[in-house]
Amino acid sequence: MLPALFLFAAQFLQGQSEDLSAKSAQARQLMASGRFEQAIPIYRQMVKAEPGNPGLLLNLGLAQHMAGHDREAIPTLESVLKAQPDSRPALISLGSARLALNQPNEAIAPLRKAVNAQPADHETRGLLASALLDAKRLDEAGVEYRELTDAVSEDPRSWYGLGMTYQATAASAFEQLQKAGATSPYVAALVADTRVQRRQFRSGFFFYNEAAKQLPNLHGIHAALADVYRKTGHSDWAAEEDAKERALPPADCKTHPAECQFAGGHDLQILTQPRRGAWSPEALYWRAKAANELAMQALFRLGQMPPSAELHQLRAEIARGQGQHLESAREWREALVLMPGDRRLRRELAASLFMAQDYRAALAEAESMLKGDSKSSEMNFIAGDSLLRLEEPERAVAYLKGALSSDPGLLAADASLGLALSRLGNHAEAVAHLEKALELDDDGSLYYQLGRAYQAMGQREKATGAMAKYQEILKKAEEQKEEVAREAQIGPPR
Amino acid sequence: MVRRIRTHGLLAGSVGLAGVSIWAAVTAAPVPPIRFREVAAAAGVSFVLENHPTERKHMIETMPGGIAVFDYDGDGRPDIYFTNGADIPSLEKTSPKYWNRLYRNEGDWKFRDVTEQAGVAGAGYSMGAAVGDFDNDGHPDLFVAGVNRNVLYRNLGNGKFEDVTAKAGMQSGEWAVAAGWFDYDRDGRLDLWVVHYAKWSTAEDRYCGDAGRGIRIYCHPKYFTGLANSLYRNRGDGTFEDVSAKAGLAKFPGRGMSVAFADYDGDGWPDVFVTNDNMPNFLFHNLGNGTFEEVALPAGAALRDDGKPVASMGAEFKDYDNDGRPDILVTALAGETFPLFRNAGKGNFIDATLKSRMGPLTVRHSGWGVGLFDFNNDGWKDLFSANSHVNDRVEMFESAVYKEANSVLANAGGVFQDVSAEAGLTLVKAHRGAAFADFNGDGRVDAVVSSLGAPAELWENVSPEARHWLILRLCGTRSNRDGIGARIRIADQYAEMTTAAGYASSSAWGVHFGLDAVAQIPRIEIRWPSGVLQILRDVRADQVLTVTEPN
């Protein structure tokens, strides 16, 4: 997209002085050869020489954006748009810069405007769809992606985006369902689906049975149980569950319309039909099922296409979902070969490396990303926490403080910073961060750290309290584990 | 450069004054070199640890490898006993390849397999070994811990052992990994602590790994229900009483992997540290009335400072920083570090993993067997660890390696430096157990290491710089014959007599001290388990000195 934008911007330079023309030619050459960083100071000089020239400003903004200096590019591009509100290159670059900075909500308006001005520009529509997806405006994202898959059906990016949109829709329906009632049998049925996808058959078996207890006539549950039995080598029990599924009466379509739509394969209809009031748990369940089905179809289509960055992204995400982070990192790297320098892919690569416990590689990737955007809370966190895990708390502190400065609500950074400061003997400062992060404590470790910090500061009473809390969490976790262990045995059909 | 403390001759005023250092003259100096040479094949040690790996990935397969070093025939030279696996699922030693093996040290780095003559081939799937003269007859006896089957061998003193398991009242039936001898009630007779891992049988068959790709791995310890430790009180008539419940152990199930003993609070009663796999470790404080109180959490030795349990495997309970108090070192997996808990006095431990540099130096290693010994005789205990990950397919899932070379970390005044490469530890294997002794009587501590499915390694310490040393062999009279639990001070160095070593292993050959430039030791203080305080004065260095407890 850049060359087109750049040519568009070049017209603003007509009629300049010889000196400026020479600089302009030099900068243009640098931009054309991808040396954006070197073009920036030249455009700066030119803008200084002609402050009111929006064309020069636009080129500076483009160079900044292309060099990865998105935070600097944004005010430059906004200045262009003040003077020329309909400048498509500025709108597109601004949206793109916002996206690169993980600010999808702010990206939508300029991108929407650019798309409206030129509806056949599929590239820009792709950016808009991506922003809508990132902003969780999933219905709108679905509309844009469906338009793209119709218009450019061989573009893997569109199918990937559509698949991700449907996945996010399913996840959103599940979240709403959980909020409505975590103990709902529909929640159990969806959890079971996920566990089985991850090959956690014992757990899947347990949750399907939980769902079947309350919803014995829910279509698909017995078939799912049969599938678990088959995959765990119990074909006789599988046959029993298959028979139960076959014996179910057909759904009453008046009282269970979504179930009927799903059974009829009208998945898109389930997602796009207008909502009347709040969704019932049952409607949310079928919405999640339909969205999952549509996601599988879109991603299957992607899988049939020649290798693409999007296909590698998909594989990376599947591997991540299965906890195979090394494999995931390999796929992100493959994707990066096809889309070199893509910041979003690099962010994901850093995250996968971190989760694979390859802290040195994660640190290197995060530090490299921070050169372009030193304020990224995510990359600062990955760099800082990696250093902490590599036993270098002295170096970790600056990054973790950087993460919190960009995102004060990033409690994981508070937790890491608390430990880093404790290790450096700065218990008083550590306590503040540990206390702030306590809501993350699901294994008692933060209370333990807090207890040790209080102890080091001579605050015995507080130390005792924190340690008691640690033990309480530990005991509770142990009890839950025992309960799950008792329940998670694959037995005969009930 | 790391600053370290070295001896520059004795300071006259310090002689005899407890707590005043003869290592007080401070100069910056490089760590004296540590060098090893692998001599197993040439020495005739051809043991291969047969763990019988299967596609079903039974947890026991990845955990054997305990070694015992002891002078079974009383010739003054430490011999080597290797525990070995068995057939799975029968858990029987169906072939001689599964036998435990005893190698007699014939001197000059020559060893001979005497397993059959000695009658110690063992039974079942063996894991750990513990040496102690439980009948005080002067001949070290041997306990072998194993999966559902333990064996107690009494040393008959004629080169043969007798299986007295049943006669002694020792029980089996649970998966024991390690054991250790100590005299918890100070009655002059050694008692036995047995460490259990978890409930397990070949019938238990959870699939762990990636079924889709057909990659099965050893399950995470969290899937195993832990077991409590056992304590057997020596009645003195060749039989033992199981006092686990009475002593307060039974209510603490863990996933135990090793045991180490020391009197951490200086109250005269030996305390017990037990590593637990992915659970908080145990520190059993001996209350002196036949019972123990588990205090690891309040004492600060249960967990590292991040509050997260690690795969604690081997342990050493020794004074690494020469402050006169025993500290605790634990081996664990890559990404976890080898936690080091410094004894700060008054019953408190402080996580010194970072401060000692143990953390940065070990965070990428997985360790099992471990020994804190002064390998360069400079007056500071260094670390030797037998390294490898627990999961033979770890490289498919994590950024860690399975087979590793062993590590040597030199102790430079309480701060460690990695000298593994210079030390010559280049063999990359699935290392497990490690035991230590001066096999050739040159005053330098050597090492023996087992590896899954591979020949054992015998590392001769060939560190080049001559420094003074002393090995004390204790002979208890009122106390137990081995003097286990005796507390010894030489200037600011502190050691306790123990045979427990690292992971599931045992080293019974005396108490070694590196003395650096000190050729004549002005004062040695030995506090025997009986309470007797014995002072030796003006002792010549560079000798193996047998010390008998005054009556």
Smallest CA–CA distance, residue A326 to chain B, in Å, is 6
Smallest CA–CA distance, residue B158 to chain A, in Å, is 51
Average pLDDT of chain A is 91
Query: How many angstroms separate the CA atoms of A247 and A217, rounded?
Result: 10
Regarding whether A214 and A285 lie in a shared domain, the answer is yes
* Best mutation target, B333, B399, B402, to test chain A (most A CBs within 10 A): B399
Regarding whether A191 and A290 lie in a shared domain, the answer is yes
Per-residue pLDDT of B302-339, as tens digits, reads 999 999 999 999 999 999 999 999 999 999 999 999 99
Among A324, A326, A422, the residue with its CB nearest the CB of B305 is: A422
Exposed e or buried b per residue across A234-269, where buried means at least 16 C-beta atoms within 10 angstroms of its C-beta: beebbebbbebbeeeeebeeeebbbbbbbeeeebbe
**Helix/strand/coil (H/E/C) assignment for every residue in B18-55:** CCCCCCCCECCCCCCCCCEEECHHHHCCCCEECCCCCC
Q: What sections of A215-324 are H helices per DSSP?
A: 221-231, 235-246, 257-263, 267-272, 281-304, 309-321
Beta-bridge partner residues of A131: none
Contact criterion met (CB < 8 Å) for B305 and A449? yes
CA angle A37, A42, A44 (to 5 degrees): 95
Smallest CA–CA distance, residue B298 to chain A, in Å, is 8
Number of residues in chain A: 494
Smallest CA–CA distance, residue B255 to chain A, in Å, is 14
Name the residue range of residue A483's domain: 391-494
Q: Tell me, what's the pLDDT at A494?
A: 81
CB A183 within 8 A of CB A210: no
Give the end of a domain, one of A105, A120, A135.
Answer: A120
**pLDDT over 70 at B9, yes or no:** no
**pLDDT over 80 at B21, yes or no:** no
**pLDDT over 60 at B470, yes or no:** yes
A323: closest chain B residue by CA: B397
Contact criterion met (CB < 8 Å) for B363 and A470? no
Question: How much is the ipTM here?
Answer: 0.89
| φ and ψ at residue A248, rounded to 5 degrees | -70, 140
**pLDDT over 70 at B4, yes or no:** no
Closest-CA residue to A352 (of A323, A390, A392, A377): A323
**pLDDT over 90 at A485, yes or no:** no
Kindly indicate the confidence band of residue A486, based on its pLDDT and cuts at 50, 70 and 90: low
Contact criterion met (CB < 8 Å) for A326 and B398? yes
* Helix, strand or coil, per DSSP, at residue B200: coil
Contact criterion met (CB < 8 Å) for B297 and A447? no
**pLDDT over 50 at B5, yes or no:** no
Kindly indicate the confidence band of residue B17, based on its pLDDT and cuts at 50, 70 and 90: very low
> Lowest-pLDDT range, A372-381, B208-217, B499-508?
B208-217
CB contacts, 8 Å: B307 with chain A: 443-449, 452, 470
Regarding whether A276 and A177 lie in a shared domain, the answer is yes
Residue A361 belongs to a domain: no
Regarding whether A178 and A105 lie in a shared domain, the answer is no
Count of alpha carbons within 13 Å of B545, Cβ hemisphere only? 20
Contact criterion met (CB < 8 Å) for B307 and A446? yes
Closest-CA residue to B349 (of B297, B416, B275): B297
Regarding whether A175 and A264 lie in a shared domain, the answer is yes
Contact criterion met (CB < 8 Å) for A356 and B399? yes
- CB contact set of B410 (below 8 Å; sequence gap of 6+): B31, B32, B34, B375, B376, B382, B416, B417, B418, B419
Residue A132 belongs to a domain: no
Regarding whether A210 and A99 lie in a shared domain, the answer is no
Q: Tell me, what's the pLDDT at B402?
A: 96
Q: Which residues of A touch chain B, with CB atoms under 8 Å apart?
A: 199, 231, 322, 324-326, 353, 356-359, 361, 389-393, 419, 422-423, 443-449, 452, 455, 467, 470-471, 481
Kindly indicate the confidence band of residue B15, based on its pLDDT and cuts at 50, 70 and 90: very low
Per-residue pLDDT of B98-157, as tens digits, reads 999 999 999 999 999 999 999 999 999 999 999 999 999 999 999 999 999 999 999 999
Average pLDDT of chain B is 93
Q: Tell me, what's the pLDDT at B7?
A: 31
Contact criterion met (CB < 8 Å) for B211 and A199? yes
Kindly indicate the confidence band of residue A488, based on its pLDDT and cuts at 50, 70 and 90: low
Query: How many angstroms separate the CA atoms of B506 and B510, rounded?
Result: 12
Q: Which amino acid is at B243?
A: V
Per-residue pLDDT of A260-288, as tens digits, reads 999 889 989 989 888 777 888 999 999 99
Query: How many angstroms separate the CA atoms of A451 and A460, rounded?
Result: 9
How many domains, in total, are found in chain A?
A: 3
Q: Tell me, what's the pLDDT at A274?
A: 81
Smallest CA–CA distance, residue B208 to chain A, in Å, is 10
Per-residue pLDDT of B231-244, as tens digits, reads 999 999 999 999 99
Regarding whether A486 and A429 lie in a shared domain, the answer is yes
A445: closest chain B residue by CA: B307
Smallest CA–CA distance, residue B354 to chain A, in Å, is 7
Kindly indicate the confidence band of residue A487, based on its pLDDT and cuts at 50, 70 and 90: low
**Residue A237, token pair as written in the block:** 């029990």
Residue A322 belongs to a domain: no
Residue A360 belongs to a domain: no
Give the end of a domain, one of A261, A285, A303.
Answer: A303
CA dist B404 → A147, B336, B391, B484 (Å): 55, 16, 12, 33
CB contacts, 8 Å: B210 with chain A: 199, 322, 324
Contact criterion met (CB < 8 Å) for B354 and A393? yes
CA dist B22 → A84, B28, B379, B472, B528 (Å): 82, 16, 10, 19, 23
**pLDDT over 90 at A329, yes or no:** yes
Regarding whether A174 and A116 lie in a shared domain, the answer is no
Mean pLDDT of B59-66: 96
Q: Tell me, what's the pLDDT at A490?
A: 84
Per-residue pLDDT of B495-536, as tens digits, reads 999 999 999 999 999 999 999 999 999 999 999 999 999 999
CB contacts, 8 Å: A324 with chain B: 210, 397
Q: Which CATH number does the domain housing residue A248 bear?
A: 1.25.40.10
Residue A140 belongs to a domain: no
CB contacts, 8 Å: A423 with chain B: 305, 354
Kindly indicate the confidence band of residue B24, based on its pLDDT and cuts at 50, 70 and 90: very low
Regarding whether A225 and A102 lie in a shared domain, the answer is no
- CB contact set of A100 (below 8 Å; sequence gap of 6+): A65, A68, A70, A343, A344, A373
Contact criterion met (CB < 8 Å) for B298 and A467? yes
Kindly indicate the confidence band of residue A17, based on its pLDDT and cuts at 50, 70 and 90: low
* Best mutation target, A197, A227, A391, to test chain B (most B CBs within 10 A): A391
Residue A41 belongs to a domain: yes
| φ and ψ at residue B215, rounded to 5 degrees | -105, 105
Residue A314 belongs to a domain: no
Beta-bridge partner residues of A32: none
pTM of the model: 0.84
Regarding whether A33 and A113 lie in a shared domain, the answer is yes
Per-residue pLDDT of A106-142, as tens digits, reads 999 999 999 999 999 999 999 999 999 999 999 999 9
Residue A134 belongs to a domain: no
Regarding whether A226 and A293 lie in a shared domain, the answer is yes
CB B37 within 8 A of CB B460: yes
Q: Which amino acid is at A235?
A: S
Contact criterion met (CB < 8 Å) for B360 and A445? no
**pLDDT over 50 at A8, yes or no:** no
CA dist A348 → A5, A296, A342, A351, A360 (Å): 28, 22, 10, 5, 16
Regarding whether A174 and A115 lie in a shared domain, the answer is no
Give the end of a domain, one of A303, A321, A347.
Answer: A303
